[in-house]
C-alpha cells in the first residue's frame, strides 16, 4: 500500500504530520520539507506554484495515494494547479479544513484568524470563511513572532505568554468579540498553551493541523495495516531539519534519517 505524501516549505508541516499519524496510526507517510527555498510566504504566487508542483512531482514519483499540502502559502496559491497535475489522487490543503471547523465552532459568527504576515495580508482564510458563511465577520491579525518563538523552542513561560497577550488582546478587546480563533499557521500549535492563556474564557481554538488531519482521514481511505513508517526528505540542512523538526513533531528525529533531495532535478 502506498504512503501518503506531505510537503511544506520547512518544518512547520510537521505539526500536520503529527496529527496525521494520530488520525491514521497504521499508515505510512513520506514528508518533504523544501528547506533550501523557505520561506514560501514572501514569494510570488507563480513561484510558490512552481515550487509546489516540483515538490508534488518528486513525491508522486515515489508513489503516493494522497497529497497533503501542509503549508498555508502553498495551499493558498497552488491547490488548483496541484489537483490538475495529479488528478488521480486526493490533494488536501490546510486552509479549507480550518475554515470549515471555524464556521462549525462559532456561534456568534465572529471569527478571529491569526497567521503569518503573508497569510493574513493574502486574505485566504478570510475568503475561505466567507465562502462558507457570507455573513461571518472575520477579524485577522498577523503574529510574526510566534514563528520565531516556535522555531526557537520558546513555547512556555513569560516570554511567549507576553507576546501572545500583546498580539491577541487587541483582537478580543472589542465590543462583540470573536468566539473562535483559527491558528492559521502550522507553527502556532506549538504555542497553544500561551495562546489559550491570553484568550478570554470560552473562546474555541481551531487548529488547522488537527482539522486537516481529520479531512485527510475522510478523503484518503485509511490503510491501517502498516507499521506507520515515515520517510523523511528535505532539500537542505538535515541537521537543522532534525533539530528544529523534533520540536514540531513532538518526538526525536535523527539527521541520519533525513534524505536530502534535489528538486531542481524533479522540476
Residue 264 grid cell: 531542481
Q: Rounded to the nearest whole angstrom, what is the least distance from the CB of residue 141 to a second copy in the complex? A: 12
Contact between 45 and a second copy by CB under 8 A: the answer reads: no
Dihedral (C-alpha) 213, 215, 220, 225: value to the nearest 10 degrees? Answer: 40
* Set 99, 138, 150, 185: catalytic member: 185
Our CB check for a second copy shows the closer of 3 and 115 to be 115
Q: Cis check for the bond before 131: say yes or no (omega within 30 of 0).
A: no
Select from 91, 113, 138, 163 the one that contacts a second copy (CB under 8 A): 163
Q: How far is the CB of 51 from a second copy (least distance, A)?
A: 13
Q: Work out whether 50 is an interface residue with a second copy (CB under 8 A).
A: no
236 is a site residue for a second copy (CB under 8 A): yes
Query: What b/e string do you get for 16-55 counting C-beta neighbours within 10 Å, with b at 16 or more?
Result: bbbbbbebbeebbbbbbbbbbbbebbebeeeebbbbbbbb
CA 191, CA 198: separation in Å to the nearest integer? 11
Instruction: Please work out the total of residues on this chain that contact a second copy, with binding judged by CB under 8 A.
Output: 21
Angle at 101 between CA 214 and CA 77, to 5 degrees: 80
Quote the DSSP letter at residue 43: S
Closer Cβ to a second copy, 105 or 145, answer by number: 145
Q: Is 71 annotated as catalytic?
A: yes
Q: Rounded distance, CA 14 to CA 250, Å?
A: 9
Out of 23, 36, 105, 260, name the contact with a second copy by CB under 8 A: 36
The answer to whether 120 touches 140, Cβ cutoff 8 Å, is yes
Residue 159 binding a second copy, by CB under 8 A:
yes
Please tell me which residue in 71, 102, 142, 230 is annotated as part of the active site: 71
Residue 143 a catalytic site member: no
Site membership for a second copy, residue 38 (CB under 8 A): yes
Give contact residues for a second copy (rule: CB under 8 A): 35-36, 38, 42-44, 144-145, 147-149, 151-152, 154, 158-159, 162-163, 166, 236-237
Residues with a catalytic annotation lie at 71, 185
Amino acid at each position: 500500500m502506498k504512503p501518503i505524501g506531505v510537503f511544506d516549505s520547512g518544518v512547520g508541516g510537521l505539526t500536520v504530520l503529527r496529527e496525521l499519524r494520530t488520525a491514521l496510526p497504521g499508515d505510512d507517510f513520506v514528508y518533504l520539507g523544501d528547506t533550501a527555498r523557505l520561506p514560501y510566504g514572501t514569494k510570488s504566487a507563480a513561484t510558490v506554484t512552481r515550487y509546489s508542483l516540483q515538490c508534488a512531482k518528486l513525491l508522486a514519483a515515489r508513489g503516493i495515494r494522497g497529497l497533503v499540502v501542509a503549508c498555508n502559502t502553498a495551499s493558498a496559491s497552488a491547490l488548483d494547479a496541484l489537483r490538475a497535475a495529479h488528478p488521480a489522487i486526493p490533494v488536501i490543503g490546510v486552509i479549507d479544513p480550518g475554515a470549515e471547523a471555524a464556521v462549525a465552532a462559532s456561534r456568534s459568527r465572529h471569527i478571529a484568524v491569526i497567521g503569518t504576515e503573508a497569510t493574513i495580508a493574502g486574505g485566504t482564510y478570510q475568503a475561505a470563511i466567507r465562502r462558507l458563511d457570507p455573513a461571518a465577520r472575520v477579524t485577522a491579525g498577523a503574529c510574526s513572532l510566534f514563528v520565531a518563538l516556535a522555531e526557537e523552542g520558546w513555547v512556555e513561560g513569560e516570554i511567549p505568554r507576553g507576546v501572545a497577550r500583546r498580539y491577541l488582546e487587541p483582537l478580543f478587546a472589542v465590543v462583540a468579540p470573536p468566539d473562535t480563533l483559527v491558528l492559521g499557521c502550522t507553527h502556532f500549535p506549538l504555542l497553544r498553551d500561551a495562546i489559550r492563556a491570553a484568550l478570554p474564557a470560552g473562546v474555541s481554538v481551531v487548529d488547522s493541523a488537527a482539522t486537516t488531519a481529520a479531512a485527510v482521514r475522510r478523503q484518503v481511505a485509511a490503510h491501517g495495516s502498516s507499521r506507520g513508517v515515515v520517510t523523511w526528505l528535505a532539500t537542505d540542512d538535515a541537521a537543522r531539519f532534525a533539530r528544529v523538526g523534533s520540536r514540531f513533531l513532538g518526538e526525536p528525529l535523527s539527521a541520519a534519517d533525513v534524505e536530502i533531495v534535489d528538486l531542481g532535478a524533479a522540476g
